[in-house]
């Protein structure tokens, strides 16, 4: 009985070509249609692992960790200076799902700097902000604004310690006028002191003390005054 041999079925060649085109593992520079380029590791055709991306339209560069096509892990993002063309670091720290998350340092174009915690790309948690005028804020942040408890130190060494809300002094706090040797302790609402007590504080060491010391004032009902101020603050806070 004759034996009939059938040719072995073969898949189309483009299947093989497609498998070879899939990016997985370490690859040399891959250029996108829009001119962006990426050099690094891949997984299932997605940027995954260590890699460097350069965006053609802005010249920005990111070098660090990737996860399934997005910046995720530790990495650094920089942009070129429009005049010198030298790269200036913008952010160094942790990322998640293409956004700043966890601890990181952000460098602003005007020379200011933030060091601290992030959430969903915004300053949130505990952090320090170094302002251009020399002021430094250290404390809690929420939704990109000082909110909670924090300390603001001014260039002349004066400082405020207390509550904040939406970037403004809000709640119980103390303002140290070290240049004059005075201390204001009270309650603030949207940056304005509404109630408080001003006393001399380190007046002997102050560089520019007032001409006369403040007279001591005896409060007959200090608890009642503070309770009234607290109630006023609670009403404005709510």
Find out whether 49 and 38 touch, Cβ atoms under 8 Å.
no
pLDDT of residue 18: 46
Find out whether 54 and 37 touch, Cβ atoms under 8 Å.
yes
For residue 30, the cross-strand partners are 38
Q: How far apart are the first and last CA of the chain?
A: 96
> What values do phi and psi take at 47, rounded to 5?
-60, 125
pLDDT bucket at 233, cuts 50 / 70 / 90: low
Helices (H), the chain: 13-21, 222-237
For residue 88, the cross-strand partners are 79
**Proportion of the chain above pLDDT 90, given as a percent:** 63
DSSP class of 157: S
pLDDT of residue 238: 56
Find out whether 107 and 129 touch, Cβ atoms under 8 Å.
no
| CA 107/CA 127 separation, integer angstroms | 14
Average pLDDT rounded to a whole number, residues 77-96: 95
| CA 65/CA 98 separation, integer angstroms | 10
| Domains 19-107 and 121-230 fall in the same CATH topology | yes
Topology (CATH level 3) of domain 19-107? 2.20.110
Topology (CATH level 3) of domain 121-230? 2.20.110
pLDDT of residue 52: 97
| CA 37/CA 128 separation, integer angstroms | 35
Find out whether 69 and 63 touch, Cβ atoms under 8 Å.
no
Say if residue 150 is exposed, middle or buried (CB neighbours under 10 Å; 0-12, 13-18, 19+): buried
pLDDT of residue 22: 56
Is residue 115 classed as helix, strand or coil in its secondary structure?
strand
The residue among 237 and 90 whose pLDDT is bigger is 90
Hey, what's the torsion of the CAs at 149, 113, 63, 54, to 10 degrees? Answer: 120
- Is the C-alpha dihedral spanning 81, 85, 91, 97 positive or negative? positive
The residue among 233 and 61 whose pLDDT is bigger is 61
Average pLDDT rounded to a whole number, residues 204-221: 70
The string of pLDDT tens digits covering residues 171-203 is 999 999 998 889 999 999 999 999 999 998 888
pLDDT of residue 45: 87
pLDDT of residue 16: 52
The residue among 49 and 15 whose pLDDT is bigger is 49
For the chain, the domains span 19-107, 121-230
pLDDT of residue 219: 53
pLDDT of residue 54: 97
pLDDT of residue 164: 98
The string of pLDDT tens digits covering residues 121-175 is 999 999 999 999 999 999 999 999 999 999 999 999 999 999 999 999 999 999 9
Mean pLDDT of the chain: 86
Find out whether 121 and 99 touch, Cβ atoms under 8 Å.
yes
pLDDT bucket at 15, cuts 50 / 70 / 90: very low
| CA 120/CA 16 separation, integer angstroms | 41
| CA 135/CA 159 separation, integer angstroms | 9
């Amino acid at each position: 009985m004759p034996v009939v041999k059938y040719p072995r079925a073969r898949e189309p060649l483009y299947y093989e070509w497609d498998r070879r085109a899939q990016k997985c593992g370490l690859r040399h520079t891959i250029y996108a249609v829009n001119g962006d380029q990426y050099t690094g590791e891949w997984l299932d055709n997605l940027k995954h692992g260590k890699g460097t991306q350069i965006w053609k339209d802005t010249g920005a560069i990111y070098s660090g960790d990737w996860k399934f096509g997005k910046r995720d892990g530790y990495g650094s993002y920089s942009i070129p200076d429009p005049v010198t063309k030298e790269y200036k670091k913008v952010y160094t720290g942790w990322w998640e799902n293409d956004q700043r998350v966890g601890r990181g340092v952000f460098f602003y174009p005007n020379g200011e700097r933030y060091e601290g915690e992030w959430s969903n790309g915004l300053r949130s948690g505990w952090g320090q902000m170094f302002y251009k005028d020399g002021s430094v804020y250290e404390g809690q942040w929420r939704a990109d604004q000082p909110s909670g408890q924090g300390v603001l130190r001014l260039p002349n060494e004066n400082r405020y310690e207390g509550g904040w809300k939406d970037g403004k002094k809000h709640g119980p706090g103390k303002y140290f006028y070290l240049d004059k040797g005075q201390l204001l302790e009270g309650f603030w609402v949207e940056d304005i002191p509404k109630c408080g007590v001003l006393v001399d504080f380190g007046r002997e060491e102050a560089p520019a003390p007032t001409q006369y010391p403040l007279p001591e004032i005896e409060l007959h009902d200090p608890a009642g005054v503070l309770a009234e101020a607290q109630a006023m603050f609670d009403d404005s806070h709510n």
